[in-house]
Amino acid sequence: MDLVDAARRAARAGAASLRAAPRPAQAQWTEKARRDFVTDVDRAVETLVGDALRAAVPGSVVVGEELTPEAARDGDVVWIVDPLDGTTNFLHGYPQYAVSIGCLVAGKLCVGVVHDVTRDRVSWGAAGRGAWQGEDRLAVSPLADPARALVGTGFPFKHMDQVEPYLRQLGAVLRAASGARRAGSASLDLADVAAGRLDAFWELSLAPWDVAAGVVLVREAGGTVTTLAGDPDVLGGGSIVAGNPALHGWLVDLLGAA
């Protein structure tokens, strides 16, 4: 719980900084890769969050999307931070972005905090302690009928070679489920799975900082998270499929067939 509290405080500070920051003009957007933007706001928030985490847990390591993406993840306590998950949404004023903080202890993912910036809503989870939003314990949806399922997704906007296979998968989901949603922040999508607002979620290519915190939330809320191939290690930077146990299995099979 000390780690949870440290992550919550750091995420709260990062969210406050994002709310106070003016939206950067287009001339201030830097394109790291095609369609992958970063600004001084992202970097400043990552510095703020990273400093807060290292101060709370001296000797801990921060792996952050913007400043330290290549940092080694072999410390006793390793924070995996996305200071602004949903940068494109933030740049356009679309109110769906978050501060996401996951924590590895001795190599095991054990803590996750997702702070929904515009709603000022915090979801957190810790190994063996469940997943929570305020006083409400989170639980994945009990729905087992794919025809009634609402499925979240993320587009492969950085990887054009994945567009055609992704579209085949999306078509299969649209034919089988009641609906699909793409809001542009994987950490918030996973928080929605944990809270039962989405029944399942998939994306073909995500970095560790996109998913670390949300994976803890889903698993502690009773859900299942793997790669498309069924591997529970989803921090390698690739596909992810999450959902309640019944719909996770259905979605893995459906996507694989597509």
Q: In angstroms, how far apart are the furthest CA atoms of the chain? A: 51
Last residue within a domain, chosen from 95, 113, 137: 137
Q: Structural domain of residue 158, as residue ranges?
A: 146-257
CA 217 → CA 61, 69, 100, 169, distances in Å? 21, 22, 11, 25
Per-residue pLDDT tens digits for 22-67: 887 776 667 655 555 678 888 999 999 999 999 999 999 999 988 8
Enumerate the β-bridge partners of residue 108.
105
Q: Are strands 130-133 and 136-137 parallel, antiparallel or unpaired?
A: antiparallel
Give yes or no: residues 118 and 161 share one domain.
no
Identify whether residues 93 and 191 lie together within a single domain: no
Judgement on whether residues 102 and 150 belong to the same structural domain of the protein: no
Shared domain check, 126 and 153: no
**Model pLDDT, residue 35:** 57
The predicted-structure confidence for 93-125, as pLDDT tens digits, reads as follows: 999 999 999 999 999 999 999 999 999 999 999
Global pTM?
0.94
**Whole-angstrom Cα Rg for the chain:** 17
The domain tally of the chain equals 2
The torsion of the CA quartet 153, 157, 163, 169, rounded to 10 degrees, works out to 0
CATH number at residue 23: 3.30.540.10
Whether residues 170 and 249 share a domain: the answer is yes
